Structure formats: structure tokens, C-alpha cells
A = this chain, B = another copy of it.
């Protein structure tokens, strides 16, 4: 009942593929019941899961892993409860599968439909955090997909225990236990194999740092979606409400600096730089500021920005500041140095806002709002599996809908092509 799936990466990928049709055909009721049962089972298995996690934590501490990384790895009662609650929230979301997204009839009488369907097998490769195991399973299951997972070696004991618990709950609720499969070979070779199961894996989503992304680019043969960096800017226009601009930069930089939708750079129109920068600097107390020459003429205490600063995602209490001649220069600078994640303008000038949203090339462009709003929850999508900075398939927060595809269903009465 609760046997973990073990075997070669290929063998496990074949099992994932084999389970996909049953998951795709599962009713919303069955999927939601399995999600709620998995939430209950995680809490029921708390002792076992926390003990397994302790093994990972002890090993990490013994090998001198930095404290911040050990903290990401560590589970406790609260974190486990949050994982269970996450699964229940996904059960409450609307099932995207089966939605007819377009419908039309051709002159020859063919009735055309475009229908939302599961992707099939969604592979996720991720680094330490064990909560990804249940989060990824939850979103994949709700969208009718098999979750084919490969966590890091450092989280193997935790991930194995979590997966075992979920597999038990799923199979007790009449769905295939292979709805979630964890690859237990944590070697580098297995990671590369995992990226090359073409024909078995429909979509690969990496969640990790630059080394993982670069390995995907070099090795993957399966289709993938990259959850990219966020080098986000706040541009304060000549027509900005400076009080609003101060609130927005403080929120975007300081509310949670370690996340991808936090701001990394402040761009200011020269017409308001003299008034605005002293206000901003005072409000950004505790943030290390670096600026270009014009910014430093106004704020002499600020360090000099070097070229790299303009494209760096600090993920920390640090901010670069640049003064520009006009809106056009701001847009060009943002398009050149940004990562295509989230970019904001603060302005009371409607046409400046329109030009900014039209010309800035990013997943999300905001007028008079903090970049921190760019995530699945704040968009009203519910949970997300990442935020895509690429333009194909999914751009911006990836929720349930982005874990599906569409197919054409065509009804005729014997039509043949002339």
C-alpha cells in the first residue's frame, strides 16, 4: 500500500507515464478527496516525517551546511501543518480540467472545441525545501498530472517520508499511488537522466539556483519552463506622487527582500530626483544604497554603483539607484537590465503609464503598485508552482492553469477534405 517507488530514473519515468491516464481521467471529487486525505495523512504521520527530517537536518549540520540552508530544510509541527493546509487550499480551488476555452463551427459543418486537459507527467527538480514535495504534488494532482519529483540529496530522508505518506493517502482514495513518484537516486547522473526522459515527461520545472538552470539548458531534452530571477525596478516618473512612490519603494524593497518580486533597483526621473531621493533614502533606513553619479550628487553618502549592480538580483537589503533624463531612457534601461519579471512605474500621468506598460517587456508591468503583488496568490490564482520569466507557455505566476495544456476536439458527420 505505502511502498515507495524505487528503480532507475527510466523505470520510474515509465511508471509515471503509466499512471498518467488514470490521473487525467480522475473526477474533481476524487482528486479533492485525495488531496484532503493526503493532508490528514501528513499530520497523522507527523512523528515519522519529523524523525526522517531530523536525519536530514543532523547530516546537514554535521557536514557544516550554512545555518540559513539548514533552516530551509528543517520541518516542525507548524511547517507540517502549513503543508497540510496548502493541500486543503488546493482542493478548494476550481479544477481547470475539462473547461472549453474556445468553440466555433467551420463552414463545412465541423464543430471545433478547444478543451483544457492535463499535461500528463510533470517533472520537478528542486533543492532543499521538503515542503516542495507536498506543494508540487498538490498542484499537479489537482490539474490531473502525475508529479514526478527529484529532490536534493540533502532532503532525501524527509522527501521519502512525505512521499510515502502521500502515496498511501492517494491509493486509499482510489487513485494510483504513482500520482507522486520521488526519484531516490540523488546522484548527479540521475539528475541529468531526469532531464532527458523525452516521450515520458511532458513538462519539467526546475526550482533552484543558476547551476541547476544551466544544467537544464545544457542537458534537458524534455520541454521545460524556467522559473527565473527577478531583477525588478521601480521607476519614479516626473509626474509621480512622491509620497506614494516612497511607500511603494519601501514596500517593494523591504517587506520581504529575499523573494523574486522584491525590487532591486530604483530609477528616478531627473525632474523629481532632487526632491524624491532624500525622502526615499530616509524611508529606506537599513537598506544599503548604491547609485550612479547623478544620484550621488543628491545623496553624497551613497556608494558608487558599478556596472554589475544594474543587473544584480541582491535578494537582500540593498538597492541600486539610477537617475534618468526621461521615460524613454527609463524604459530602455529596464528592458536592457531587467530579467523580465515585474516592473513598476509610479506616475499620475496616464500617458506615461500607458507607454510604460506597452513598451516594458516583462511578465508583469504595474502602474502605482508594488512589485510584491506579482505572485499567484495575490493574482487570485491560489497556490503557484513558480513564476515564469520566459515567454513560452507560461509567463508570470504558474498556477493550476499553467499545469495544463489544451487539445482540439472536432466533431463531424463524415467530412473529408477536398
A contact residues vs B (CB 8 Å cutoff): 21, 24-25, 104, 106, 110, 112, 117, 119-120, 198, 202-203, 217-218, 221, 223, 225, 241, 244, 247-248, 250-252, 255, 335, 353, 357-359, 361-370, 372-374, 378-380, 390-393, 395-396, 405-417
Is B25 touching A415 in the complex (CB atoms < 8 A)?
no
Residue of B nearest to A395 (CB): B405
B414 & A241 in contact (Cβ 8 Å cutoff):
yes
| Bound complex: CA A370 to CA B225 (Å) | 34
Q: Are A247 and B407 in contact (CB under 8 A)?
A: no
Query: Which of chain B's residues has its CB closest to A353's CB?
Result: B411
Using known A-B contacts A369-B110, A395-B406, A411-B368, determine if residue A378 contacts B244 with beta carbons closer than 8 Å. no
* Residues of chain B contacted by A374 (CB below 8 angstroms): 408, 410
B392–A225 contact, CB under 8 A? yes
Q: How far is the CB of A42 from chain B (nearest CB, A)?
A: 29
Asked whether A221 lies within 8 Å of B217 as measured between CB atoms, the reply is yes
User: Within 8 Å CB of A395, what residues of B?
Assistant: 405-407
Contacting A373 at CB < 8 Å: which of B117, B202, B370, B410?
A: B410
Number of copies: 2
The answer to whether A417 and B353 touch across the interface, beta carbons within 8 angstroms, is no
Nearest-CB residue, chain B, relative to A217: B221
| CB-defined contacts of A365 to chain B, threshold 8 Å | 407-410
6 A-B pairs with C-beta separation under 8 A: A25-B358, A119-B391, A120-B391, A203-B392, A362-B407, A392-B393
Can you name the residue of chain B whose Cβ is closest to the Cβ of A198? B217
A416's contact among B248, B391, B415, by CB below 8 Å, is which? B248
Residues of B within 8 A of A250 (CB): 416
Task: Give A276 Cβ to nearest chain B Cβ, in Å.
Answer: 15
Q: Are B414 and A247 in contact (CB under 8 A)?
A: yes
- Residues of chain B contacted by A390 (CB below 8 angstroms): 223
Chain B residues within 8 Å of A367, by CB = 409-412
**A373-B415, A373-B417 known; 10 other A-B pairs, CB under 8 Å?**
A244-B414, A252-B416, A364-B410, A365-B407, A365-B408, A366-B410, A367-B412, A373-B412, A374-B408, A392-B405
Q: Which residue of B lies closest to A248 (CB)?
A: B416
Minimal beta-carbon separation of A49 from chain B (angstroms): 32
B218–A391 touching, CB < 8 Å:
no
Contact (A416, B255) CB under 8 Å given A369-B410, A391-B203: yes
Rounded to whole Å, the gap between the CB of A35 and the closest CB of chain B is 22
Which residue on B lies nearest to A402, using beta carbons? Answer: B392
Q: Across the interface, do A413 and B368 meet the contact criterion of CB distance under 8 Å? A: yes
Residues of B within 8 A of A335 (CB): 21
Q: Is the CB of B415 within 8 A of A120?
A: no
